[in-house]
Amino acid sequence: MIPIDELKQYEILAELDPTELKILSGMAEATQAQEGEVLIRAGLPARTLFILKQGDLMVAFPDGRAITMHKPGGVVGWSALVSPTSYTASVTCLTDCTLISFSGSELLRLIQRNVAVGTKIMRKISEVLSRRLPFLQEEDKRRIKSRR
Amino acid sequence: MGGFSAISAGNGWLIAALGISVVFFGLASLAFIISYFPRAIRWWNDHAQAPQHTVQLLKSLFGRRQRKAAISADSGERHKPEELDDVEEALRLITAHMSEPFKLPRLIEVAEQRGLARVHSTINRLLVREIMVGGADGLFHWTTPKDSKEGVNGETVSK
């Protein structure tokens, strides 16, 4: 469980009201990962969405291109919310990291049940996706379009 | 005279042993030469890329002192400046063999294969200091000392 005040600071959850944040607070867990640890492997089933709390990450796409994340609030593992759920990129910790993790299936159930929460979260996920779209493979782009 | 006595009389045993030895040493020499092919090819490749390699090395040496001063001024240093400098130089040498801009995951993979210590955090430091920067295309390159904005503590360079 993560305090509501902390969750509110992250861009992806900024639009949620306290009641909605309370639901998410019960689903969120703090996760620690060490420097060099592979948090997510491309191609594997996507089961967890992570928000970066502290540390630095590298998101590596299958063609070898990469982006790095250094600010708290960065989101990785959005594939957990887009069917069929498999990760499109690998994520490695460049330094020791603290992350907030959400179970993809729980979050997906919440989004499907609660339209208001779903809309707010998916809007933010779309923003993340639009920034990463140039790096995605054609197959993944088709997958996202079909989801929309 | 025939059979074994004829072979002995004509120095046949000696000639047979000599023949076996010649074939054995011939094959052994061939195997030895072939075993050096990879090294010779590597040397040839390095030699062919020598100008580019030299330029990269000079660049890394040229920008070394200025960056060292900036790194020392930063608080909360986890690497000793000289260690960072050595790893940076090693990373520059690796990237000299890769085309620039280069793929960051590949650089990390090669650096780990070569036994460099704490590759991830070192690269992170170089990224935060904008000594190494990522482009919008997801590829990375080194900045020249003039271009780099040093002393930007903890600022993001993510694209």
pLDDT tens profile B5-43: 888 888 999 999 999 999 999 999 999 999 988 888 877
A102 against A3, higher pLDDT: A102
Token pair for A100: 């907030």
The dihedral built from the CA positions of residue A32, A68, A87 and A61, taken in this order, carries a sign that is negative
CB contact (8 A) between residue B120 and residue A60 = no
pTM of the entire structure? Answer: 0.64
Q: What would the pLDDT profile of A103-133 be if each residue is shown by its tens digit?
A: 988 888 888 888 888 888 888 888 877 777 6
Chain B positions in Cβ-Cβ contact with residue A68 (cut-off 8 Å) = 104, 124, 127, 134, 157-158
Provide the terminal-to-terminal Cα distance of chain B, rounded to the nearest Å. Answer: 93
Could you give the percent of chain B with pLDDT greater than 70? 65
Measured distance CA(A110)–CA(B86) in Å, rounded: 50
φ/ψ of B87, rounded to 5, equals: -65, -40
Measured distance CA(A27)–CA(A24) in Å, rounded: 5
Chain B positions in Cβ-Cβ contact with residue A74 (cut-off 8 Å) = 158
If you count residue pairs, one on A and one on B, with CB atoms under 8 Å apart, how many are there? Answer: 68
CB contact (8 A) between residue B138 and residue A68 = no
- Find which of B120, B122, B123, B140 to mutate to test the A interface (most A CBs within 10 Å of its CB): B120
Could you give the percent of chain A with pLDDT greater than 70? 88
Chain B positions in Cβ-Cβ contact with residue A90 (cut-off 8 Å) = 105
Q: How much is the ipTM here?
A: 0.81
Which residue of chain B has the CA closest to A134? B137
